[in-house]
Amino acid sequence: MIAELEIENLAVIAHARIPFSPKLNVFTGETGAGKSMLISGIHAILGQRVTKDIVRTGCQKATVTALFTRLSPAVCARLDALSISHADDELLLTREIAADGGSAARVNGHHTTVSMLREIGEALIDIHGQHDNQVLLSPECHLQILDAFGGDDTLLKQYQESFRALQNTAKRLNRLGKQEQERSNRRLYLQKLVQSVDELGLEMGEETALEEESTVLQHAESISEALRHAANAIDGDDACSAVQMTDNAADDLGEFSDLRQEFALLCQRLSEASIELRDIADECRRLQDHMELDPERQTWVQKRLKDIRQLSREYQCTGDDLVTHRDEADGELAEMQSASEEIARLKEEKEQLLKTVSKQAKALSEYRKQTLERFVREVTAELTFLNMPNVVLTGKHTTGKLTIHGMDSLEFLISANPGEEPRPLARIASGGELSRIMLALKCVMADRDQIPTLIFDEIDTGVSGKAAQKIGLKLREVGQTHQVVCVTHLSQIAVMADHHLMIEKRTDGGRTETHVAALDAQERVYEIARIMGGENPSELLLQSAKEELERWR
């Protein structure tokens, strides 16, 4: 719980060091004295969003420091999870807000992030203000309130885990389903491509080879004649053949090969050339022997090329590309088959998850139904104590489609007067009734949320007299198990405090400052009397204030 709060240069608060009691702490003061700044300071230390406007005019920064002691097990667990030391059962949080808009945070003197403060703060303090009343008026929040009251979120977590799995499966199935029509058309195209190429029996490089063969077949006679002439010219019977003339040249030079080395080398080269020329001539004759005219082969080659080119035009690619595309199509068809199997698997998975989610939703709904009965009973008891003896509280619980929150819808209905049918809170509840309803909720949930400190800002809105006294008694009762901080303008609540602090606005040297001071017994008498009757209370009011304080001491 919070032991001390120190504020510097926060709007009208130049400096304040505020001690707290572990039980019921009450702040009083005139309207506009700066009570809202006190709450803003606490919000800042809890890592909530603040603006640079709250920095006191003329100052570079505002600083808020809070010392927490007697840390609860839940708080210690949170700190351990964040690797934050809490030796001596103490925790020091600091927040600085710069006039230029910057912000800094420290935990136990070590720099940290504002988000870290916020995460720690969620376990330290629960602040109730007018915003919470608006939440109470929103039916979409009522189910969350009931779940928080129930305390056991096991069924909800199990359901939400299954529901998210169902959502993910449905999304994947929907995405694959939208692609299925495209895949169907694509599948037909690919199947036709594979079938056409397979029926044709086309192989890689075949088109190029056939084109070469076709050209050769078309000029077979000319090529054969050219090969014959070439062979004869190189190594024919004619004495003028290339081989014969080369041999003659070698013989002529051979007579002088012993005279000079160059002549011997030339003879050797001529001999090698003669061998190469004979080999070329033999190759020409071999090719000529195979260059027979074959009209049937030529016809077949032309037809084969025609079939290949026709299929190539259909798919606007070459023969080799057809073979490549066919192999790629085969792989894509295999992937499509896998996608179809995935769709079938996801459909089965979705069906099983839907059964699981529906079963879990029913179990969660039944648990909520039982929790609602207990909730209505306990909150009604609290409201009866808070001077609403004729209150009838119920919950309009309906079931419908599955959502992340389950199959349930819930709206709290209330009747504050005999003979009236329970109606939605937003239609009939007054400000004072809302304050008491929220206090009743905080009371029944105080032990469940394990937050050690409860702060009530304007809990007394719209109430007075006996109802205000009952609120004070309830705050005092909660203060026996939790630290309670309350900002009030009612004496019936202020007299219940274990620790009374006054917020006072003063003008010094032309500047307005807010001072916060803990009141002693005599000062409390005067402040209670002031709340009862205004400034300069009479002796009668002072006596009444003293009696009230003694009555509840």
Label the pairing between strands 423-424 and 13-19.
Answer: unpaired
- The mean pLDDT of 270-284, rounded to a whole number, is 85
- The mean pLDDT of 153-159, rounded to a whole number, is 93
Following DSSP, what letter does each residue of 473-532 receive, concatenated? Answer: HHHHHHTTTSEEEEE---HHHHTT-SEEEEEEEEEETTEEEEEEEE--HHHHHHHHHHHH
Return d(Cα 501, Cα 518) in angstroms, integer.
4
Return d(Cα 65, Cα 93) in angstroms, integer.
6
pLDDT on residue 404: 92
Q: Where are the domains of the chain?
A: 1-137+447-519, 179-338
Lowest mean pLDDT among 80-84, 131-135, 172-176, 460-464: 131-135
Is the pLDDT at 214 greater than 80, yes or no?
no
Label the pairing between strands 453-457 and 483-487.
Answer: parallel
pLDDT per residue over 320-369, tens digit each? 888 898 888 888 777 777 667 778 888 999 999 999 999 999 999 999 99
Contact 361, 407 (CB under 8 A): yes
Is the pLDDT at 130 greater than 60, yes or no?
no
Within 10 angstroms of residue 500's Cβ, the number of other Cβ atoms is 24
Return d(Cα 545, Cα 497) in angstroms, integer.
13
Is the pLDDT at 411 greater than 70, yes or no?
yes
Is the pLDDT at 483 greater than 60, yes or no?
yes
Q: Coil, strand or helix: which one is 178? A: helix
- The mean pLDDT of 444-456, rounded to a whole number, is 78
pLDDT on residue 275: 87
Return d(Cα 20, Cα 334) in angstroms, integer.
73
Is the pLDDT at 115 greater than 80, yes or no?
yes
Q: How confident is the model at residue 407 (pLDDT cuts 50, 70, 90)?
A: very high
pLDDT on residue 362: 96
Long-range Cβ pairs for the range 235-240 (8 Å, 24+): 235/277, 235/278, 235/281, 235/282
For 181, 482, 486, 523, the CA distances from 26, given in Å and listed in that order, are 70, 14, 5, 14
Label the pairing between strands 24-28 and 90-98.
Answer: unpaired
pLDDT per residue over 3-44, tens digit each? 999 999 888 888 889 999 999 999 988 776 667 788 888 889
Return d(Cα 13, Cα 515) in angstroms, integer.
7
Question: 290 vs 491, which has greater pLDDT?
Answer: 491
Is the pLDDT at 300 greater than 70, yes or no?
yes
Q: What is the CATH T-level fold of the domain 1-137+447-519, as seen in this structure?
A: Rossmann fold (3.40.50)
pLDDT on residue 409: 93
Mean pLDDT score across all residues of the chain: 84
Tokens of 512: 């307005």
Is the pLDDT at 449 greater than 70, yes or no?
no
Residues contacting 463, CB < 8 A, separation 6+: 432, 435, 436, 471, 490
Return d(Cα 352, Cα 234) in angstroms, integer.
87
